[in-house]
């Protein structure tokens, strides 16, 4: 297995250290800087006209959220969270935005309390951390947790008086929620089978963790123009949906006879934002594994300096790249690096191996002889504290105490001795989960829905479970299908990448407004990349179940030999 020491050469480590140490001399400083008189100041500079500007934008033109950040960095909101805890008052005004720097969301009116989102780099956690999360869910939250599509945990129904207890316990567990919301770098995702997949190109786990720590320790990386997602794909069997991220690093092999030495490199894709029907696109560069962090850091800084801070709707990386073109973005990135970027066409690299759908479920041999990983299905990502504790205990008894969350809203128990696999699977069933790679149930993803999110028009999680149960009875699907049920255009469940995607809407039936969905079909990721297309608009949920069954049965009866759902 690759270790961090193997990933970076001494020279590269020195480079990274110097890169950040010299940041202020190169014109970058945190939002909250220290002046020579020792007083703290916001990161503003005086323009020649005397007006204050932030990264080139006059302060008068900044949008509301930028002004809130300028007034006080959200990283300094701990005292505000303490104050609200003492009075048990929900945050309001600018505090609503600042609390998100600590991963705390005021989700009223859907729920009159706070939601906590953590950071779990690469989704990898230890059993004691899962037990700790279960205790928090039990004691200070709503008695359940949700695994998210960024391989992360969310807890809900936290009263303000308990927010500090939750934050402090996270730290005690070696976890954090720092920057899990607002305009920050979100949980870093990486291939869930890093280091254990016999067919992967590169173990990205050290990169995922190093990126996580780089963010946590770099104050200037908070308060970006907008949220920002980064993912590392090691080229193995399981998709991490990296091409839905702002920056996606894909491990590739380069063979003999090319412009570079044969070996393992990374391709860099930019500006994925599937809610806007856009996948990240390859930007034409080839980098070494040890260069990934420096390139990511330089790209983040280009975005910090040049992203739109006047219009929230145009602030994501996509819009900067739409304005500049990806090559200008790459040139600006290169200007912040002390090495040249190698340009090489994607077709010069070996193709990515095909993805094995639903390999997040069931029993799979690991790279390590005698060991397997077991994918546990967690319907729509919901876990009760007792189930969390039981999973932690099973990981201890049969594995190495490691649990890996995936972007498919489920979990893996890793390093299970082959002779214990059957017993483990039986024990998993006793706690209400299963390990079956069911072609329909194994690919159902759902966002929070109106149960806990004010943007949703329907109870997506409950509807998704009900739909899955119905389809199981009505359709004899013979290949793995992904169904993504999302509550609104923010697309947290990424409906445009599903074979079948659904976005909730309110539908008028007579005088009544009922829960319904618009339906898209034909989406996929990675080497099945496709944006699903709308086929039905505003259908009441009561009619959705037979409709989706009909779509699936039409595929089964009319497909050509070997034709996938994406191609249908």
Least spacing, CB of residue 493 vs ligand SF4, in Å:
6
Q: Is 490 in the site for ligand SF4 (CB under 6 A)?
A: yes
CB of 175 within 8 A of CB of 120?
Answer: yes
Least spacing, CB of residue 380 vs ligand SF4, in Å:
12
Q: Is 205 in the site for ligand SF4 (CB under 6 A)?
A: no
Q: Which is nearer to ligand SF4, 398 or 517 (CB)?
A: 517
Given candidates 486, 499, 525, 528, which one binds ligand SF4 under the rule CB under 6 A?
486
- Measure the CA dihedral 397/398/402/403, to 10°: -100
Task: Count CA atoms within 13 Å of residue 534 on its CB side.
Answer: 9
Q: Which is nearer to ligand SF4, 147 or 488 (CB)?
A: 488
Q: Is 350 exposed, middle or buried (0-12, 13-18, 19+ CB in 10 A)?
A: exposed
**Cα–Cα distances in Å, from 160 out to 78, 85, 88, 115, 165?**
12, 5, 5, 10, 10
The residue count for binding ligand SF4 (CB under 6 A) is 11
Q: Is 464 in the site for ligand SF4 (CB under 6 A)?
A: no
Q: Is 491 in the site for ligand SF4 (CB under 6 A)?
A: yes
Q: Which is nearer to ligand SF4, 310 or 462 (CB)?
A: 462
DSSP letter string, 169-193: HHHHTT-B-TTSSSSBB-PPEE-TT
Pairing between β-strand 500-509 and β-strand 483-486 as defined by DSSP bridges: parallel
**Cα–Cα distances in Å, from 189 out to 9, 146, 194?**
24, 16, 11
Least spacing, CB of residue 539 vs ligand SF4, in Å:
18
Angle at which helix 160-172 crosses helix 78-87, to 10 degrees, equals 130
Q: Is 451 in the site for ligand SF4 (CB under 6 A)?
A: no
CB of 457 within 8 A of CB of 540?
Answer: no
Given candidates 487, 501, 524, 540, which one binds ligand SF4 under the rule CB under 6 A?
487
Q: Is 488 in the site for ligand SF4 (CB under 6 A)?
A: yes
Given candidates 130, 141, 453, 477, which one binds ligand SF4 under the rule CB under 6 A?
453
Query: How many other CB atoms are found less than 10 A from the CB of residue 82?
Result: 12
Q: Which is nearer to ligand SF4, 122 or 381 (CB)?
A: 381
Residue 124 carries which DSSP code?
E
Least spacing, CB of residue 223 vs ligand SF4, in Å:
21
Contacting range for ligand SF4; rule: CB under 6 A; set: 8-16, 90-98, 338-346, 449-457: 449-457
Least spacing, CB of residue 448 vs ligand SF4, in Å:
4
- Measure the CA dihedral 471/241/327/299, to 10°: 140
Q: Is 505 in the site for ligand SF4 (CB under 6 A)?
A: no
The token duo for 565 is 């759902």
Least spacing, CB of residue 456 vs ligand SF4, in Å:
3
Q: Which is nearer to ligand SF4, 191 or 463 (CB)?
A: 463
Least spacing, CB of residue 458 vs ligand SF4, in Å:
9
Least spacing, CB of residue 455 vs ligand SF4, in Å:
4
Least spacing, CB of residue 294 vs ligand SF4, in Å:
32
DSSP letter string, 20-83: HHTTTTTT---SEEE-TTS-EEES-EE-TTS-EEETTEEGGG--HHHHHHHHS-GGGTHHHHHH
Longest dimension (CA), the chain: 76
Q: Where are the alpha helices (DSSP H) in 335-486?
A: 385-398, 421-430, 460-474
Q: Is 442 in the site for ligand SF4 (CB under 6 A)?
A: no
Give residues with Cβ within 8 angstroms of 486, minimum separation 6. Answer: 446, 447, 460, 492, 493, 494, 495, 501, 502, 503, 504
Q: Is the dihedral of CA 188, 193, 195, 198 positive or negative?
A: negative
Contacting range for ligand SF4; rule: CB under 6 A; set: 26-34, 58-66, 486-494, 529-537: 486-494
Q: Which is nearer to ligand SF4, 195 or 501 (CB)?
A: 501
Q: Is 447 in the site for ligand SF4 (CB under 6 A)?
A: yes
Q: Is the dihedral of CA 491, 407, 361, 560 positive or negative?
A: positive
Contacting range for ligand SF4; rule: CB under 6 A; set: 160-168, 228-236, 413-421, 490-498: 490-498
Residue nearest to ligand SF4 (CB): 487
Least spacing, CB of residue 463 vs ligand SF4, in Å:
12
Least spacing, CB of residue 146 vs ligand SF4, in Å:
10
The token duo for 247 is 């920056």
Contacting range for ligand SF4; rule: CB under 6 A; set: 158-166, 196-204, 301-309, 445-453: 445-453
Q: Which is nearer to ligand SF4, 108 or 344 (CB)?
A: 108
Contacting range for ligand SF4; rule: CB under 6 A; set: 186-194, 306-314, 469-477, 483-491: 483-491
Q: Is 456 in the site for ligand SF4 (CB under 6 A)?
A: yes
Give residues with Cβ within 8 angstroms of 235, minimum separation 6. Answer: 191, 200, 201, 202, 250, 251, 252, 253, 352, 353
Given candidates 129, 184, 244, 448, which one binds ligand SF4 under the rule CB under 6 A?
448
Q: Which residues contribute to the site for ligand SF4 (CB under 6 A)?
A: 447-448, 453, 455-456, 486-488, 490-492
């Amino acid at each position: 297995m690759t270790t961090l020491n193997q990933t970076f050469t001494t020279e590269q480590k020195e480079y990274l250290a110097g890169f950040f140490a010299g940041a202020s001399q190169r014109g970058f400083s945190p939002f909250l800087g220290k002046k020579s008189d020792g007083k703290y100041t916001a990161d503003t500079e005086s323009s020649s006209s005397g007006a204050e500007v932030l990264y080139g934008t006059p302060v008068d033109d900044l949008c509301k959220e930028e002004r809130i950040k300028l007034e006080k960095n959200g990283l300094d909101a701990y005292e505000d969270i303490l104050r609200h805890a003492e009075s048990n008052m929900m945050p309001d005004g600018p505090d609503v935005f600042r609390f998100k720097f600590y991963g705390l969301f005021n989700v009223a009116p859907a729920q009159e309390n706070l939601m906590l989102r953590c950071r779990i780099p690469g989704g990898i956690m230890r059993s004691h951390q899962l037990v700790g999360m279960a205790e928090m869910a039990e004691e200070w939250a709503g008695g359940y947790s949700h695994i998210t599509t960024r391989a992360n945990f969310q807890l809900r129904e936290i009263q303000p008086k308990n927010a500090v207890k939750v934050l402090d316990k996270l730290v005690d567990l070696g976890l954090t929620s720092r920057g899990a919301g607002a305009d920050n770098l979100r949980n870093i995702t990486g291939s869930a089978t890093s280091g254990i997949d016999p067919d992967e190109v590169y173990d990205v786990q050290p990169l995922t963790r190093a990126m996580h720590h780089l963010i946590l320790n770099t104050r200037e990386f908070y308060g970006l123009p907008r949220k920002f997602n980064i993912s590392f794909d090691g080229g193995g069997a399981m998709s991490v949906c990296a091409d839905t991220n702002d920056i996606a690093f894909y491990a590739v092999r380069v063979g003999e006879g090319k412009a570079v030495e044969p070996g393992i490199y990374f391709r860099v894709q930019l500006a994925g934002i599937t809610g806007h029907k856009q996948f990240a696109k390859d930007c034409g560069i080839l980098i070494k594994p040890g260069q990934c962090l420096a390139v990511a850091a330089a790209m983040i800084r280009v975005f910090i300096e040049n992203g739109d801070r006047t219009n929230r709707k145009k602030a994501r990386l996509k819009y900067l790249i739409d304005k500049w073109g990806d090559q200008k973005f790459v040139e600006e990135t290169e200007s912040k690096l002390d090495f040249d970027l190698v340009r090489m066409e994607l077709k010069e690299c070996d193709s990515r191996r095909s993805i094995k759908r639903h390999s997040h479920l069931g029993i799979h041999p690991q790279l390590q002889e005698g060991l397997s990983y077991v994918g546990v299905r967690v319907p729509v990502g919901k876990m009760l504290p007792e189930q969390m504790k039981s999973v932690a205990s099973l990981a201890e008894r049969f594995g190495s105490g490691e649990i890996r969350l995936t972007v498919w809203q489920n979990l893996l128990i890793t390093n299970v001795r082959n002779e214990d696999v059957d017993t483990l699977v039986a024990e998993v069933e006793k706690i209400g989960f299963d390990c079956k790679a069911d072609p329909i149930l194994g690919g159902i993803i759902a966002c929070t829905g109106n149960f806990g999110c004010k943007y949703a028009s329907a109870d997506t999680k409950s509807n998704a479970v009900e739909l899955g149960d119905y389809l199981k009875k009505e359709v004899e699907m013979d290949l793995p299908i992904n169904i993504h049920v999302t509550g609104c255009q923010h697309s947290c469940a990424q409906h445009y990448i599903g074979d079948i995607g659904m976005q909730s809407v309110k539908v008028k039936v007579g005088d009544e407004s009922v829960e319904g969905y618009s339906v898209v079909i034909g989406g996929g990721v990675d080497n099945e990349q496709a944006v699903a297309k709308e086929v039905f608009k505003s259908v009441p949920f009561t009619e959705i179940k037979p409709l989706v069954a009909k779509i699936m049965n039409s595929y089964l009866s009319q497909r050509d030999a070997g034709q996938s759902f994406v191609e249908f």
